[in-house]
Structure 1
């Protein structure tokens, strides 16, 4: 019997090749999309799971309370050094504390090999007791104990030493990030490369004792910010009890009554997807985006299942007589249900095979979309295999159950007489499914339009500074380069393609420190307020085309500007109580040991991503603490100009690699995750819409088959093709209109929530939903027109003979 079922199923697939292709391919595409999204989501959820003690690893985040006990400013992961030892002393439930510096780029030299390493941390010797990073060579207890010890990842060690054993060899290091840690570093360990699914990664670890030896005083200053603090707890740790002890802990160690310092803790499992703290040591993910992609994956699969049901139902009339004959010769309904469910499982099996082929060929392109290496071998576990098989069984049963029940329920007497009609409940269900499909499709179309326009809004917004044709040269605070900055500037500006050159510690979109600054308020009091600091050279304001709204810029005509002058932005002027920026010019200031007067106010500019509002900012003059030289270029012949700049660079500072990038690229890199979201959202939205169209095609086919005789009679009575097409399309257009009404408020709410993540966002206009509805109507009309025209052009003689 089962052999006969298989033969019938196989013959039906071969007989109707177009239907079989649409059915198998549509379901395969849905399964493939679901698998790809599952792989992406699982990779995002897997961050830091490889640490053996991960459930006992926490970190501190730091903040400041307002007088009413609220936290007006975001918490930071990055903060002071003395909090770590204090925690270890005050809390016996803490086994190990590991601290490390903010990221430190450093120039390392070995023979003729010179590289600026951009993934470097000064790390505690306890790091290998807390984290599960495997040391391939060296002693994990002592590798980072002594000053000027260095541990390299396997890839970094191979870059400098090839196949040689690096242990005991020496790398010469330059000064890093303004710290006095230049010297000879002895390689004491080689470790495995940090897994890609880590919330922070690195290439080189330097011993924290190197930092401690060079600047020992900062390790006792609670107000000096340059460290991250992680800790390992024992089995007796109670997070709730720990949190209750925090106020007493901070009260014991913070003696300044005006500084309301506080801390919180974050478990390792929350550090990538759930953290809200600023100044992260590495990248973070987006839990809302994970939810969005998961929902899209489920919806795509549901749409594919609905399509299967619609297409199977559309063919029910063709197999009606088969069902009638089987029933008339004694076939039980349960046997027919088993047969049709078996056919469903066969299609699901074929679809799953095709789905895996699609996944296999799509994975390389997923790397371009996500920046992730999604290797299918990493996802082949007994849990994932059993889940996938259960999913296939569920799809097969759900997809085939409704058609099986419909087909097996036909009355054999009526069927053999040529009478067949769909039940009212069945027709209502199919229409409801179409409305559901197109409600989702319209929401996805509207979402795609909004995502694209928001990203274009970010790229096109006037940021308040000139970022076009800006070549950024990174020399990492090199003292020799800073000493020769005026010579370098003069030589570079001799090039007719160079407009101007300026030096600064920061450029928009890059790292910037925070500091407390005292400025005289309108009532004459010197008030301390905190804000970001951009240390700049003389020509920074003019070079970046910042708009000076009060006072003047730094000038060579005023030698005192180097130590007794300060420029701020208008947000900082408002921070100190000045509604008119001109009123703050000439007011006294104190900052980082310098005293003088405010000489100018620049118009607010977006020096950080548009996810954040513009903060108060000070731009102190600093000639010898710069990291970047920015070169403004004229349009045209860029490659030749860069080559000439490189030659000048090598002639003046030959010891330093010529490292360059373009400011607009660097600034837009802040939106890496947003652009990835746009690519994935758009791609899977289009696939969902395509699969929904297959379902609409199935229902159009089904309806046209039901009305074959009606179409024939209408043509005999004089109806033309246009009238027939309009007749068949009208019902579906009504369903799409209903879907537009349902989808509009849902998509508006969802995308409004997404836009809340941007401080500068587009306003959602009604035209977005009008356009989304028009696109959906066009897609529906185009899809339906294929079957409608086919039915309208059918010979009425054939239609009237159809019974």
Structure 2
């Protein structure tokens, strides 16, 4: 049977080279697309799956009503473990506030190396009892139990020490408070490690730098700066435990927390769900998006279906050429089941040939795909993926060949051998329906590409309420750099290419970690407003180009009190205070029986300190003379010269701290990296969907032109023009594309509206976008069909009639 099927496949391929090549190309590209997206989805879904106690690990989050936070109070971890038998172990993770990177200094003999590294976290010694890491060096039973010890990733260990054993080596950690020595106690394997905690190194939370601060943090009522994780007994029901923990949490907070207007509750988040299903404030690191995976999965399936539809359409369209073969086989004894098996076998063989093409495309294009997605995917990384690919290939062969197999095997031998043509009205109707489906998908994808691109342009061009261009940011991460802020600032302002210099605890585009609950003087805690707090040095408002609409900014002409505030319009709106009456108003923070009054000295126009995903919230600046970030406004066209000057000034002022910088506009745009990657992927695979659809349309147009050869010849003899003939061949297909546009427009509108819901500030959806998408589809379809139509129109009518 297999030998017969193989011979039949080869014979069919030789007789119908064009159709066979179109089928292989379409299925190959469709399979490659599906595999690309499968690799991406599998990789995104593999985060945190390596832990031994997966299913028993939860993160404790706090719900404040208006927002949900991934962080929690310091004593929560120990409190839960000590009071609940279901909690086997607990641990905390802490990231040093307002410090994106740390300085690691290695001193061996006379050689000193300084490394600026990100993703360093303070953790309890119980961290490795909760989470599973593959240690390549160190004693797993005593990791981080000693103060001032650290665990490095293998990548960082090799970067600092090469292939030497780092255990026992000392690294100095540079912080704003000074340099602190840590001893390396372990190294963990980070190759192929997928975790929402994207750590480069871990530091013991009990130490000589922040250890005293952590030990003193025993309040359940404030400072939600820790990430708390618990490991529970196997079989523990999470909802029941959550209710018990929440009751305990409310008791620990006491009445005074509610007396200042705070209402919060906790929730448990399964470790398996953190990376893809978490959209919380104060996340440990970047997270994925399950919705995006659904979108990509749908695109992959739809593109593969488009390729399968091409196979079905072309197989049934060419059925007359195989009709006699079917008739002869039936006369010599073949039954319908045998014929179905034969045609399905041919389809499976074609599918596996297409898989070969798909693998070649993946090998060639995977580096480009990895660059777009910012990943290091490999087709051979996951054994499960290889099995899925084989299953996908078999599925593709079966789904592509099923309908043609039953259609061809259903021919009646007597009618065929007599030369009677089968009408095949149902086959034609199905074929048309499948063409419509292909272009519904294509038009909807085109519309989504246009909407996503418009939103990206909107985010780039929308006024943010500050000047993001030509702004250089320096991170003052060391004690040396913080202490020399004024000296560095004075040095920089002397250059004519530098317009202004100032500093702050934050700048637009990075996460702000502090907020206060304030109420207006004369009112009560029932009227508190949650206000985001940033700290600003003199002239910070002017340096960032924010618009001061009332009052003044912080500057050297006024002796600033740490009880002064500059507020945005959203703050005043929340209180119901008129902007022109705001200066001089007092806002009060009440905590543990004490009142702290803050005077409003200035009002600035609302600005986007967060991405356009989020609404502008109440925001206030308080003065600081020791900012962790310095911002310099550079004159246009002088960046190269000024950058060299700034580097020299830095080295002169801070000789022990490496010089590193970023640009504010680029830092802000990093908030949209996910959207940028998503739009690029959708764009490329939309092109693939259109290409596959056009390949099938090209084949069907050729078949239609061949079927109408005699009619075209007669019409030409009677005087029909090339345009008339082109219209004759193409109008049926264009009508089908028109139906597809009518169906795709509302579907695309709904999908686009759902996607845009993720942005607080977004474009207005217009039907013109979907009309334009349809116009693009018609142009593409007409261009595809026209070649075959014009080719048929230019044939000599004498030859056309003679061939009939």
Report how far residue 495 of structure 1 moved: 1.9
**Counterpart Cα distance in 2 of 1:412 and 1:798:** 32
* Alignment of 1:101 onto 2:94: yes
Classify 1:172/1:525 alpha carbon distance in 2 versus 1 (closer, same or farther; 3 Å). closer
- 1:459-488 CA distances to partner (integer Å, 9 max, x unpaired)? 111100000011111122x34333322221
- 1:243-298 CA distances to partner (integer Å, 9 max, x unpaired)? 33244212321112424331000011110111232211011111111111111111
Report how far residue 325 of structure 1 moved: 4.5
Classify 1:400/1:114 alpha carbon distance in 2 versus 1 (closer, same or farther; 3 Å). same
**Counterpart Cα distance in 1 of 2:803 and 2:6:** 28
Report how far residue 609 of structure 1 moved: 0.7
**Counterpart Cα distance in 1 of 2:678 and 2:466:** 27
- Residue in structure 2 matched with residue 515 of structure 1 by the alignment: 515
- Which piece of structure 1 moves more, 89-98 or 137-146? 137-146
- Residue in structure 1 matched with residue 310 of structure 2 by the alignment: 307
Report how far residue 62 of structure 1 moved: 0.6
Q: Is the 8 A contact 1:28 1:354 kept in 2?
A: yes
Q: Is the 8 A contact 2:563 2:622 kept in 1?
A: no
- Residue in structure 1 matched with residue 551 of structure 2 by the alignment: 551
Q: Which runs of 5+ in 1 are unaligned?
A: 65-70
Q: Is the 8 A contact 1:363 1:374 kept in 2?
A: yes
Residues 579-728 of structure 1 aligned to structure 2 (within 5 Å): 580-590=578-588, 595-624=597-626, 626-728=627-729
- Residue in structure 2 matched with residue 469 of structure 1 by the alignment: 470
Q: Is the 8 A contact 1:81 1:222 kept in 2?
A: no
- Residue in structure 2 matched with residue 67 of structure 1 by the alignment: none
SS in 2 for 1:472: strand
Classify 1:190/1:44 alpha carbon distance in 2 versus 1 (closer, same or farther; 3 Å). same
Classify 1:386/1:542 alpha carbon distance in 2 versus 1 (closer, same or farther; 3 Å). closer
- 1:575-620 CA distances to partner (integer Å, 9 max, x unpaired)? 2221x21212101245699644210010000000110000100111
SS in 2 for 1:372: coil
- Residue in structure 2 matched with residue 86 of structure 1 by the alignment: 79
Report how far residue 387 of structure 1 moved: 3.6
Classify 1:94/1:713 alpha carbon distance in 2 versus 1 (closer, same or farther; 3 Å). same
- 1:467-522 CA distances to partner (integer Å, 9 max, x unpaired)? 0011111122x343333222211211222221111111111111322232535347
- Which piece of structure 1 moves more, 582-591 or 24-33? 582-591
**Counterpart Cα distance in 1 of 2:672 and 2:623:** 30
Residues 16-27 of structure 1 aligned to structure 2 (within 5 Å): 16-27=16-27
- Residue in structure 1 matched with residue 765 of structure 2 by the alignment: 764
Report how far residue 164 of structure 1 moved: 2.7
**Counterpart Cα distance in 2 of 1:455 and 1:277:** 23
Q: Is the 8 A contact 2:568 2:619 kept in 1?
A: yes
Classify 1:401/1:516 alpha carbon distance in 2 versus 1 (closer, same or farther; 3 Å). closer
**Counterpart Cα distance in 2 of 1:416 and 1:235:** 71
- Residue in structure 1 matched with residue 344 of structure 2 by the alignment: 341
SS in 1 for 2:530: strand
**Counterpart Cα distance in 2 of 1:371 and 1:41:** 13
**Counterpart Cα distance in 2 of 1:263 and 1:300:** 43
**Counterpart Cα distance in 1 of 2:649 and 2:95:** 32
Q: Is the 8 A contact 2:497 2:635 kept in 1?
A: yes
- Which piece of structure 1 moves more, 684-693 or 524-533? 524-533
- Residue in structure 1 matched with residue 267 of structure 2 by the alignment: 264
* Alignment of 1:793 onto 2:789: no
**Counterpart Cα distance in 1 of 2:526 and 2:322:** 89
- Which piece of structure 1 moves more, 207-216 or 670-679? 207-216
- Residue in structure 2 matched with residue 192 of structure 1 by the alignment: 189
* Alignment of 1:376 onto 2:379: yes
- Which piece of structure 1 moves more, 407-416 or 744-753? 407-416
- Which piece of structure 1 moves more, 294-303 or 330-339? 330-339
**Counterpart Cα distance in 1 of 2:205 and 2:2:** 72
- Residue in structure 2 matched with residue 68 of structure 1 by the alignment: none
- 1:307-362 CA distances to partner (integer Å, 9 max, x unpaired)? 00111223223333444454555554444434333322221121111111112222
* Alignment of 1:576 onto 2:579: no
Q: TM (normalized to structure 1)?
A: 0.94
Q: Is the 8 A contact 1:526 1:589 kept in 2?
A: no
- Which piece of structure 1 moves more, 307-316 or 32-41? 307-316
- For these two proteins, the number of residue pairs brought into alignment is 787
SS in 2 for 1:377: coil
**Counterpart Cα distance in 2 of 1:249 and 1:716:** 93
Q: Is the 8 A contact 1:80 1:221 kept in 2?
A: yes
- After superposition, the CA RMSD in angstroms is 2.2
SS in 2 for 1:563: coil
**Counterpart Cα distance in 1 of 2:574 and 2:580:** 14
- Residue in structure 1 matched with residue 357 of structure 2 by the alignment: 354
**Counterpart Cα distance in 2 of 1:213 and 1:520:** 35
Q: Is the 8 A contact 1:566 1:600 kept in 2?
A: yes
Q: Is the 8 A contact 2:220 2:252 kept in 1?
A: no
Report how far residue 445 of structure 1 moved: 0.6
**Counterpart Cα distance in 2 of 1:433 and 1:136:** 56
- Which piece of structure 1 moves more, 527-536 or 646-655? 527-536
**Counterpart Cα distance in 1 of 2:167 and 2:46:** 33
- Which piece of structure 1 moves more, 429-438 or 522-531? 522-531
**Counterpart Cα distance in 1 of 2:337 and 2:63:** 67
**Counterpart Cα distance in 2 of 1:295 and 1:395:** 16
- Residue in structure 2 matched with residue 492 of structure 1 by the alignment: 492
- Residue in structure 1 matched with residue 42 of structure 2 by the alignment: 42
- 1:124-179 CA distances to partner (integer Å, 9 max, x unpaired)? 00111111112222222322122211221122222222233222221122225xxx
Q: Is the 8 A contact 2:22 2:696 kept in 1?
A: no
SS in 2 for 1:600: strand
Report how far residue 196 of structure 1 moved: 4.2
**Counterpart Cα distance in 1 of 2:213 and 2:794:** 87
SS in 2 for 1:37: helix
Q: Is the 8 A contact 2:63 2:264 kept in 1?
A: yes
- Which piece of structure 1 moves more, 369-378 or 25-34? 369-378
- Residue in structure 2 matched with residue 782 of structure 1 by the alignment: 783
- Which piece of structure 1 moves more, 769-778 or 508-517? 508-517
Q: Is the 8 A contact 1:482 1:623 kept in 2?
A: no
Report how far residue 75 of structure 1 moved: 1.0
SS in 1 for 2:91: strand
**Counterpart Cα distance in 1 of 2:71 and 2:5:** 67
**Counterpart Cα distance in 1 of 2:517 and 2:602:** 16
Report how far residue 421 of structure 1 moved: 4.2
- 1:604-660 CA distances to partner (integer Å, 9 max, x unpaired)? 000001100001001111011x11111111122423321221011101111111110
Q: Is the 8 A contact 1:521 1:527 kept in 2?
A: no
Classify 1:135/1:323 alpha carbon distance in 2 versus 1 (closer, same or farther; 3 Å). closer
Q: Which runs of 5+ in 2 are unaligned?
A: none
**Counterpart Cα distance in 1 of 2:614 and 2:523:** 31
